[in-house]
Amino acid sequence: MSQKSFVFIKPDGVQRRLVGEIIKRFEEAGLTIGALQMQEPDKATISKHYPLDNREYLLGLGHRDTNGMSEEELEQLYQKNYKIVRALQEYVGSGPIVKMILEGRDDTVEYVRSIVGKTDPAASPKGTIRGDFGVDSFAQSDKEGRSVRNVVHASGTPEEAEAEIKLWFEV
């Protein structure tokens, strides 16, 4: 059975007119677009997608292993990630996005992530969406106290994809 993944092109990708090129890459990779829509995202949906009231979510950003961290280290990580996610919420709400459901493989979520590249554009290989179109880095965004501009969001797990599809599309 074909797995589904959720992707949205962030305001930087839309503003830079990369929508067609990004969609083309997914289609050329053999994926099917099950749904596609441009929208101005509302604050309520953004807040559910990037929840500031979920400590576990905030501590788990970047799939970082927090085992063995002291309470002080956990609190520092929480505070840092809280600021990043708050800035990310503001950024995603700053302009239109293009959201889509992709499908076509048993491992669609993992496959989409390989096409998109790493979250940090500076660490993404050439040939990936973020590696080719990303003009930002974690180092620069941390220095400026904002979220990284990395062109796209892509679900990280099949469970995340299912929840995000339900959140962003009426399915």
Domain boundaries 3-168, CATH class: alpha beta
Average pLDDT of the residues in 131-153: 89
Name the active-site residue from 31, 91, 153, 161: 153
Domain ranges of the chain: 3-168
In this model, does residue 171 exceed pLDDT 80?
A: no
Question: Quick check: 84 and 61 in contact, CB under 8 A?
Answer: yes
Write down the pTM of the prediction. 0.92
Per-residue pLDDT tens over the stretch 91-138: 999 999 999 999 999 999 999 999 999 989 999 999 999 999 999 988
In the chain, what is the straight-line distance between the N-terminal and C-terminal CA atoms, in Å? 18
Map tokens 């892509």 to a residue: 154
| Residue 153 annotated in active site | yes
pLDDT category, 61, cuts 50, 70, 90?
confident
Q: Which residues of 143-162 are buried (b: 16+ CB within 10 A; e: fewer)?
A: eeebbbbbbbbbbbeeeebb
On average, the pLDDT of the chain sits at 94
Write down the pLDDT at residue 63.
67
